[in-house]
A and B are shown apart, each in its own frame.
Chain A
């Protein structure tokens, strides 16, 4: 590609460093047998903060016969500039147009980035629909958490990788290499790919509808599996990790070393998709983590290390780990952070010691305001836990605490909403009732309330979402109730956006057309509130003869077929049904580190080695 033309563009766009590459630890290869571009459908600063795609970049590039490069969604100014100059979307490493790669793989981190996949494909000169692509085009893959229900993208992506990518992507690469040796065409290659465990080729299945409701997914291609199964890395401890991560030249969102302690979570919060789709828990050994931390810090020069997992403080050797890390990093001025703290395993002593290094804000997620509702969602946390933890933090000198809640949870009443305010006030009081000399100056208690979005493969996959009006009313109610609480800042999220997220997370194949309609109407970067265009989305649905309401406001019955039922995410559907029952009966299901709850059913019992 014409570098000087690119140069002229870069002078005039916001944050040109997003597009230049050239970072420390970047891997630039001249040529390889198989060329893979990892496309991230959001800006560089967000994409580079995503651990999963960075692990893949490293893992794939470890192979000599594979060249893996990166591309991020160009910000709107860059998109315009590229179009104007007639330049295609290119990779950061060698500025190769995306269309020249053998595989382009997109990470699906959240539903609201789907329109960016379309803009990236179009800018790359790759047809948006699978049906319009031929042997000369790259194979378009998708992976990541939203791959568990990729139905809205069924006509856009050629194949989906479900589950952990480290081993899966290498298998995919091998099949592609072999297919080329054998001279297979695109269709034949896809057939071969469909037989790789973890790969789902949507085109080999057909969805049927009757009078506007989903009926079933039928298999069209005999050789494809009846149910594509999620792939897991059984032994995370020996799995590849990013030994020498890229260090961006511009600031990114998570600008630090991320140390992944374990994958999966045993808590079983019923609203949390990650808690279900990453099971079972697989830990890395303490020695492995210490060696990783050392290498990661030495190779990046970062001064911050974040313990990264779904619930890091659940790590079985968390005390030893923190103690050792603090010891080792003391002289190097490296600060540690725990992004996800569980209230009940709050590590008071460690916190005090961490504080000696640097004082970052603390985050807690009680999620609901009353014990009743916390039991419904299986957030096994009590008010006493929270108050004890925050008091400990305040005494240790912390003044900045964030509390996360959700609004619109199943069975929620106004009492639960008011409960949030009461809890926040108690936290505020816990701070101000400490003697002045025992606490910091002013409290900054930020309270954030997001809107609940029902997700596939959770016990709440059947429930209806609250209407936008109802969510707004509850937000107002909470906002009123929080008035006068000392030190409290209340933030809530745009409910229109969570509505759309709810549509797509439980969407079916008919949404592919809506996506393209919305894209044509200028929708991009929908998760960025300044770019979210609710009216354009409404029009897009209308143009396709669909409404958002039918996707979100309808309570599904448990025996109704669901558009994602043909995907096997390992967790047994019967288990989800049982958990839904437990939720309605306000029965708590204990953490399965204490004993197996049988979530994998008989079929996959062997995939979990926790017991």
Chain B
């Protein structure tokens, strides 16, 4: 059977890379005594796949993993046992049994929503921020990006689906941002936020939290 689980990543674990998260999840599954299925072949490996990677330092309530199990496990049992076996900073929020034939999560994932908390070095006017978002979204957002062929100027505007200011108090602003997240080219949040603060002419530090991801069909 296939168990699809939604988990959160926070605290100390936000500094754990995607590859390390995969190992961490495998070990937690073992500690929880989950009957994980293994691939065939020379170096059998546990069969689990993750919907997408999360940048180092980001927190999230919308991480997804798809695990193949050899025996039936009730989703509630899965959640309880896994949460007793995961370190601080990772919590299974929900789990459900998937159709055997439904495609891999990576093939279904489409976009993600983020909440960005920004600390400006000085208070910034609300209108100025809103105007800058509008201006930025109205045209191309050219950033210098490292690609396989070296550093290149690219337009990341097509990957930005939504950006709006949802809170402002003195130097602290909160944004909602939605970006493309799929196998063909995901929004690189750091590049967008750098471009934005640069255009705004302000220096800021930020924290990014992934609030949700959207899948095609699957309906989760």
Could you list which residues of chain A lie within 8 angstroms of chain B, going by C-beta atoms?
8, 10-11, 15-17, 20-24, 26, 247, 249-251, 255, 297-303, 332-333, 358-359
Contacts and interface: CB of A to CB of B under 8 A. Distances in A.
Nearest to A335: B43
Given A249-B20, A251-B20, A301-B85, A21 B27 contact: no
B26 A301 contact: yes
Nearest to B11: A22
Contact of A16 (B15, B19, B24, B29): B15
Nearest to B38: A333
Contacts of A26: 87
Nearest to B119: A8
Contact of A303 (B11, B12, B30, B86): B30
B31 interface: yes
A359 B20 contact: no
B88 A250 contact: no
Nearest to B19: A251
Select the residue from B16, B26, B38, B205 with max chain A CB neighbours within 10 A.
Answer: B16
A301 B28 contact: yes
A247 B205 CA distance: 31
B111 to A, nearest CB: 25
Contact of A250 (B16, B26, B28): B16
B119 to A, nearest CB: 9
Nearest to B25: A301
Contacts, number: 72
Contacts of B29: 301
Contacts of B15: 10, 15-17, 20, 249-250
Contact of B23 (A10, A23, A251, A333): A251
Interface of B: 11-13, 15-17, 19-20, 23-24, 26-31, 38, 42-44, 46, 56-57, 85-89, 205
Select the residue from B26, B43, B88 with max chain A CB neighbours within 10 A.
Answer: B88
A362 B11 CA distance: 39
A20 B13 CA distance: 8
Given A22-B87, A333-B44, A333-B46, A302 B12 contact: no
A303 B27 CA distance: 8
Nearest to A357: B44
Nearest to A7: B207
Contacts of A255: 23
A247 B26 CA distance: 12
B24 A249 contact: yes
Nearest to B42: A359
Contacts of B87: 22-24, 26, 247, 249
Contacts of B88: 22
Nearest to A298: B31
Contact of A299 (B16, B20, B23, B31): B31
24 contacts: A10-B15, A17-B12, A17-B16, A20-B12, A21-B12, A22-B89, A26-B87, A249-B12, A249-B13, A249-B24, A249-B87, A250-B17, A250-B20, A299-B31, A301-B26, A301-B28, A301-B29, A301-B30, A301-B31, A302-B27, A332-B30, A333-B44, A333-B46, A359-B43
A301 B12 contact: no
A11 B119 CA distance: 14
Contacts of A301: 26-31, 85
Contacts of A251: 19-20, 23
Nearest to B21: A249
A22 B30 CA distance: 19
A20 B205 CA distance: 20
Contacts of A10: 15, 57
**A contact face: mostly helix, strand, loop, or mixed:** loop
Given A8-B205, A11-B57, A23-B87, A249 B42 contact: no
A24 B88 CA distance: 8
Contacts of A297: 30
Select the residue from A24, A26, A251 with max chain B CB neighbours within 10 A.
Answer: A24
Contacts of B31: 24, 298-301
B123 to A, nearest CB: 19
Contacts of A298: 31
B88 to A, nearest CB: 5
Select the residue from A249, A255, A332 with max chain B CB neighbours within 10 A.
Answer: A249
Contacts of A247: 27, 87
A13 to B, nearest CB: 9
Contacts of B57: 10-11, 16
A297 B30 CA distance: 9
Contacts of A16: 15, 56-57
Contacts of B16: 17, 249-250
Contacts of A299: 31
Nearest to B12: A22
B91 to A, nearest CB: 13
A537 B26 CA distance: 45
Nearest to B28: A301
Nearest to B57: A11
Contacts of A359: 42-43
Contact of A22 (B13, B20, B28, B46): B13
B27 A300 contact: yes
B78 to A, nearest CB: 15
A21 B12 CA distance: 7
A196 to B, nearest CB: 36
B10 to A, nearest CB: 10
A10 B16 CA distance: 12
B220 to A, nearest CB: 27
A192 B205 CA distance: 52
A303 B23 CA distance: 10
Contacts of B11: 22
Contact of B20 (A17, A21, A300, A358): A17
Q: Which 10 residue pairs spanning A and B have beta carbons closest together?
A: A22-B12, A301-B27, A301-B30, A20-B12, A16-B15, A301-B31, A24-B87, A17-B15, A249-B16, A250-B20
A358 B43 contact: yes
A20 B23 CA distance: 18
A247 B12 CA distance: 14
A435 to B, nearest CB: 21
A249 B22 CA distance: 10
A303 B24 contact: no
A16 B89 CA distance: 15
A21 B31 CA distance: 20
Nearest to B87: A24
A15 B38 CA distance: 30
Contacts of B46: 333
Select the residue from B28, B30, B44, B89 with max chain A CB neighbours within 10 A.
Answer: B30
A27 to B, nearest CB: 13
Select the residue from B15, B17, B27 with max chain A CB neighbours within 10 A.
Answer: B15
Select the residue from B20, B28, B42, B86 with max chain A CB neighbours within 10 A.
Answer: B20
B74 to A, nearest CB: 21
Contacts of A22: 11-13, 87-89
Nearest to B31: A301
A62 to B, nearest CB: 21
Select the residue from B12, B38, B56, B86 with max chain A CB neighbours within 10 A.
Answer: B12
Contacts of B20: 17, 249-251
Contacts of B12: 17, 20-23, 249
